Structure 1
């Protein structure tokens, strides 16, 4: 009797399992067209992601010199296309509940990651934005409130500057988005200033004409530019002036070179015309006479 009970239980379990397998088989047969379509959709989006990312990589490489930024954007494009294909395939299979659960879970995970990596993501998106901005490029000479140098690399997190003394400065990308900076490489010509002073006995109109002529001969000005000359003040030992004019320079060393040349030219024309460039002289007056004694051995 016990054997009959065991046999009946085993037979019922096998029958239920068989019915379940038949149900699955029938469901697979019914869903087979949808499964084939979903597989074809996945293959289609895989091809788009693969070749689209290669095309995007070539396109971005022409505009962005930072390889890390280009790789990040192409990988993001690849992942987004694959995810779109995956969600469409789930919709074709009528797995709406699974799709909703996945989206909800992805939203929670994305929120948690965003809160945990807020600073990192800020620098990353700032790096992407900087890569597309025409106001900063590789090899540009820029100057911030604290540093200046040539842009060597724009990575996902940092802008790397090479200072004129060859030291490397690593700055977070967000600083270039939130704070002002000067890019000397954007304008091929800029105005420089040279200051000097002449003695009180000098003819100021003649001095002005000398300076304007020597600058005009050696630093030609383009249309819309010009040479400016201003007397500034009566100094302690000289009457001081400044002259401003445009030169070609996109980095500080070129500016210093042009200023140095202008100073030498002004000094030469002053020497040729006996124009005195005075220097401060201090006279010490002592109430008590000082005697100087020569000691001989």
Structure 2
């Protein structure tokens, strides 16, 4: 019974001590509560105010939301640490800061690839080397950009497949953007007979390509001879076309081939077939028909001997 009384007295003493501490802490609790409310209000106000400003400098919704969210969370954490300080919980603040540092270091090692993609996405969003709708080629993939996020870039290939490339791969490897200037040059290789008048062929090709589909009229058509081939003299017909989709390029190239073929037919210009020489291993000046006659006679003789043997 004495032990029970002592336990009750000890518990009552603890409760009285806690009650006295709470009474002493009431002003600090009130200040901490007011400070916490002000923190939420101020963080929300700053976020709404900066949102209008950031939109003027960045058109990336993902990047804008990221910056505003990090700023909002940072202001809440600062206010929370002030609240703990007002409540005389300095040791808790130090422990929390140490814990945040350790957790951040561990997460950095565990998710370094994700972090690399994330940082690459931020840099891409700031530099804006390409945008949604551009035709690009990177990492052996060619297609139209459908979506840009802070982690991946979605590319719709010309054959219909959707490829999601991590931002790190796009950022670290060469990239060709075909949509930057809105134009693209077509280099068309053609071969003609050695018997043709080269200057006349040049004029015929230039006239044939004048009205090719999507051609940029302000740029000249170029017909440049570049080599003596095995059975033809080869040249390149070069001209520029407007470009927004891949079909603009392949359509203009197809139209140019049709026009050149028609122009050559109308002007009797020959596109020669490749010449091949077949070597049958005949020696001593013997003719091919003599060799064939000898082989045929040998076969007939063999059949005759076989029939006599029967």
Pairing of 1:24-39 with structure 2 (within 5 A):
24-29=21-26, 32=27, 34-39=28-33
How far apart, CA to CA, are the structure 2 residues paired with 1:90 and 1:188? Answer: 59
More displaced 10-residue stretch of structure 1: 265-274 or 20-29: 20-29
Please, what TM-score do these two structures have when normalized by structure 2?
0.77
Question: Alignment RMSD, CA only?
Answer: 3.3
Structure 1 residue runs without a partner (length 5+): none
Does the 8 A contact of 1:186 with 1:250 survive in 2? Answer: no
Aligned pair in 2 of structure 1 residues 206, 126: CA closer, same or farther (>3 Å)? same
- Offset at residue 60 of structure 1 (A): 5.9
Are 2:194 and 1:200 aligned?
yes
Aligned equivalent of 2:308: none
Which consecutive unaligned segments of at least 5 residues does structure 2 have? 283-287, 297-310
1:158 Cα deviation after fit: 2.4
The answer for the alignment partner of 1:221 in structure 2 is: 217
Q: 1:63 aligns with which of 59, 62, 82?
A: 59
SS for the counterpart of 2:179 is helix
How far the C-alpha of 1:228 sits from its partner, in A, is 2.6
Deviation, 1:40, is 2.6
Task: Determine if the alignment matches structure 1 residue 78 to structure 2 residue 75.
Answer: no
Look up the match of 2:307. none
**Does the 8 Å CA contact 1:131/1:137 hold for their aligned counterparts?**
no
Where 2:224 maps in the other structure, the secondary structure is strand
Counterpart pick for 2:100 among 97, 102, 106? 106
The change in CA–CA distance for 1:89 and 1:14 in structure 2 (over 3 A counts) is closer
1:131 maps to 2:128: no
Q: Give the whole-Å Cα distance in 2 for the aligned partners of 1:11 and 1:202.
A: 119
- TM-score using structure 1 length: 0.80
Aligned residues: 283
Question: How far did 1:109 drift?
Answer: 0.7
Distance 2:265 2:7 in 1: 120
Distance 1:48 1:151 in 2: 39
The CA distance in 2 between the partners of 1:6 and 1:235, in whole Å, is: 112
